[in-house]
């Protein structure tokens, strides 16, 4: 049996793209894959200090701003009204943010010396932290509810449990330089975006040793190219959204890392997309939109 969705890569006419039937492919693929053009903006959170991360948890959206106090702004997900502000103690350098529904907590990556740590914020307001011992860049949470920390300078992926115990450490292939962000696929492989001589998204074996497939190459602005792929999010069907920073856009890839289309264009943003968050339940894509010198930023909310 096969299911049909429309192939939305730029063409003069549309034609069906066949997707093989398997346990994890569903017929309720996001409407973003069946729409023509960019996805619509439904809201923009207030502009303020530059934004280092955004995530959703339960019925709230958490926004991490680069300032001395009240760094975490919490909004409701219906009307996007500010509910409260939280101060992260002893944070040095704001890098990224993610969340875990299972443990009902938010994680914040801190790349400042001598910190180089992960802060954990429980929904009750309690903060704890643990050392990474390499500079953290992007962070994500996998299906086992563990935290994946991308250490760009060291070219490593470190996996911690929710209490900060190091479970494993992978060194990436030699040609994966400047890894920015990593996520696990359902079968344990890694999705990694990186930029150096080549700017691309790679699918890497579970042991971190081999590149299975990649999308991208030499930096550029054409279809299939990136200039600074900084951040990833993946939906339940393993479609991949990529924040293409210097091209001021968000690109959608298939589970096999084939180009589908641009879902957020430069016209939708004031400047550069840095971080992404996908609320699968509400079909909302949150895009961090900072100015080029990181003095101001906002979060744009798209309906997918």
User: 152 is written with which tokens?
Assistant: 């760009």
Predicted confidence band of residue 36 (pLDDT cuts 50, 70, 90): low
Which strand (E) or helix (H) includes residue 152? none
The distance from CA 297 to its chain's CA centroid, rounded to whole angstroms, is 17
Report yes or no: 95 and 136 within 8 Å, Cβ to Cβ.
yes
Confidence check: pLDDT of 226 > 80: yes
pTM across the whole model: 0.88
Q: pLDDT tier at 6 (50, 70, 90 boundaries)?
A: very low
Q: Please, how many CA atoms are within 13 Å of residue 201, restricted to the half-sphere of its CB? A: 31
- Give me the DSSP letters along 193-259: EEESSSEEEEEE-TTS--EEEEEEES--SSTT--S-EEEEEE-TT--EEEEEGGGTEEEEE-TT--E
Note the pLDDT tens digit of each residue in 102-158: 999 999 999 987 779 999 999 888 899 999 999 999 999 999 999 999 999 999 999
Tokens 């103690």 correspond to: 89
Q: Hey, what CATH class is 2-303 in? A: mainly beta
Q: What is the pLDDT confidence band of residue 25, given thresholds at 50, 70 and 90?
A: very low
Question: pLDDT, tens digit, for every residue of 45-72?
Answer: 999 999 999 999 999 999 999 999 999 9
Q: What integer pLDDT is reported at residue 79 of this predicted model?
A: 96
Residue 22 exposed, middle or buried by CB count within 10 Å (0-12, 13-18, 19+) = exposed
User: Domains of the chain: which residue ranges?
Assistant: 2-303
Computed over every residue of the chain, the mean pLDDT equals 89
């Amino acid at each position: 049996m096969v299911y049909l969705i429309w192939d939305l890569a730029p063409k003069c006419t549309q034609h069906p793209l066949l997707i093989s039937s398997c346990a994890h492919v569903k017929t309720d693929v996001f409407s973003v894959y069946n729409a023509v053009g960019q996805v619509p903006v439904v809201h923009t959170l207030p502009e303020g200090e530059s934004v280092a991360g955004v995530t959703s948890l339960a019925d709230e959206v958490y926004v991490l701003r680069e300032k001395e106090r009240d760094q975490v702004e919490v909004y409701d997900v219906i009307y996007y009204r500010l509910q409260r502000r939280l101060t992260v103690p002893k944070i040095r350098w704001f890098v990224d943010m993610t969340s875990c529904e299972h443990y009902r907590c938010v994680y914040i990556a801190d790349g400042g010396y001598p910190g180089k740590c992960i802060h954990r914020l429980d929904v009750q307001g309690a903060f704890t932290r643990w050392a990474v011992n390499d500079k953290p860049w992007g962070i994500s949470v996998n299906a086992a509810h563990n935290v994946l920390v991308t250490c760009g300078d060291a070219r490593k992926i470190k996996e911690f449990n929710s209490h900060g115990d190091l479970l494993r450490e992978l060194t990436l292939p030699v040609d994966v330089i400047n890894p920015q962000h990593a996520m696990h696929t359902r079968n344990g492989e890694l999705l990694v975006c990186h930029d150096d001589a080549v700017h691309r998204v790679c699918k890497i074996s579970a042991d971190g040793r081999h590149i299975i497939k990649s999308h991208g190459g030499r930096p550029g602005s054409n279809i299939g190219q990136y200039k600074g792929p900084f951040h990833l999010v993946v939906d339940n069907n393993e479609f991949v959204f990529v924040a293409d920073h210097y091209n001021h856009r968000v690109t959608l890839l298939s589970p096999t890392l084939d180009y589908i289309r641009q879902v957020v264009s430069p016209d939708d943003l004031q400047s550069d997309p840095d971080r992404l968050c996908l609320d699968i339940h509400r079909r909302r894509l949150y895009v961090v939109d900072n100015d080029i010198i990181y003095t101001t930023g906002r979060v744009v909310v798209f309906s997918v």
